[in-house]
Amino acid sequence: MSIAERRIRQKEEVRTLILSTAWKIVKEEGWQSLSIRKIADAIEYSIPVIYDHFANKESILFEIGKDGFRLLSKKVKKASEKHDNAPDQIRSMADAYWNFAFKNKEYYQLMFGLGMPCCEEKCMEEKSGFRNLLMEPINEMIEKSGKKEINACLKYHTLWSVMHGLISIIMMSSSDLTNELNKMVLDDAVEGFIKNLEK
């Protein structure tokens, strides 16, 4: 029985090797320059071996994107746990989101298809996990405000749009704004969002 187990383990190792190598290439050369041939070359296997583990190139990128969401969720969760009131939690989470995006540019581009060929992103539990994190303080604030007719899901999308919109604009453009000003835009938008939620 242990023979079969070893084989499964070895196969899993190759799979992991493919993913880590792909991620290495993406970090070093950008995702645009990732190719199946480069991965095969780096792991010293022939090209079809890749297809024994992944259906196609997109599913490799998809897997890396999932890692990205896991990391983002971790960071955002940590940020949230630093505070015990909703407005501060939102501020802190927006900060964490912001930092993640620019400290992990390749992840972020992969996750949100910025300048990317992929990305009919399908359902992804990592993503809904992230959503739940953001929605918690929003729900709390809605309850406190007493106005239960406010749609929390709607508010979540609004907040996410503010953050993502700004980031993707900066990432795609040759950013004629300074970094501090960019951050001010986000803070301004988030403050507006919070005020609109409170009153």
Partner DNA sequence: TATATTTGCTAACGGTGTTAGGTAAAAAGA
Partner DNA sequence: TCTTTTTACCTAACACCGTTAGCAAATATA
Nearest by Cα to 167 from 190, 150, 144 = 190
Torsion-angle region of residue 124: left (phi > 0), alpha (psi -120 to 50) or beta? beta
* Contact residue for DNA among 34, 79, 138, 189 (CB under 7 A): 34
Determine if 144 is a binding residue for DNA (CB under 7 A).
no
Cβ-contact 131, 156 below 8 angstroms:
yes
Give the pair of three-digit tokens for residue 157. Answer: 């999308």
Torsion-angle region of residue 83: left (phi > 0), alpha (psi -120 to 50) or beta? beta
In angstroms, the CA 46 to CA 36 distance is 10
Site string for DNA, 48-87 (x = CB under 7 A): xx-xx---xxx-----------------------------
Which residue's CB is nearer to DNA, number 51 or number 128?
A: 51
Determine if 138 is a binding residue for its own copies (CB under 8 A).
no
* Contact residue for its own copies among 122, 125, 146, 149 (CB under 8 A): 122
Residue 24, CA distances (Å) to 30, 39, 54, 94, 102 in order: 9, 10, 17, 28, 18
> What single-letter amino acid sits at 4?
A
Contacted by 178, from its own copies, DNA, none: CB < 5 to 8 Å by type: none
> What single-letter amino acid sits at 20?
S
Determine if 11 is a binding residue for DNA (CB under 7 A).
yes
* Contact residue for DNA among 15, 17, 19, 35 (CB under 7 A): 35
> Least distance (Å) from its own copies to the CB of residue 175?
11
Determine if 150 is a binding residue for DNA (CB under 7 A).
no
* Contact residue for DNA among 15, 42, 45, 87 (CB under 7 A): 45
Determine if 163 is a binding residue for its own copies (CB under 8 A).
yes
Nearest by Cα to 126 from 80, 72, 90 = 72
| Alpha carbons within 13 A on the beta-carbon side of 126 | 16
* Contact residue for its own copies among 16, 132, 151, 179 (CB under 8 A): 151
Residues contributing to the site for its own copies (CB under 8 A): 32, 112-123, 151, 153-155, 157-158, 160-166, 168-169, 172-174, 177, 181-182, 184-185, 188-189, 191-193, 195-196
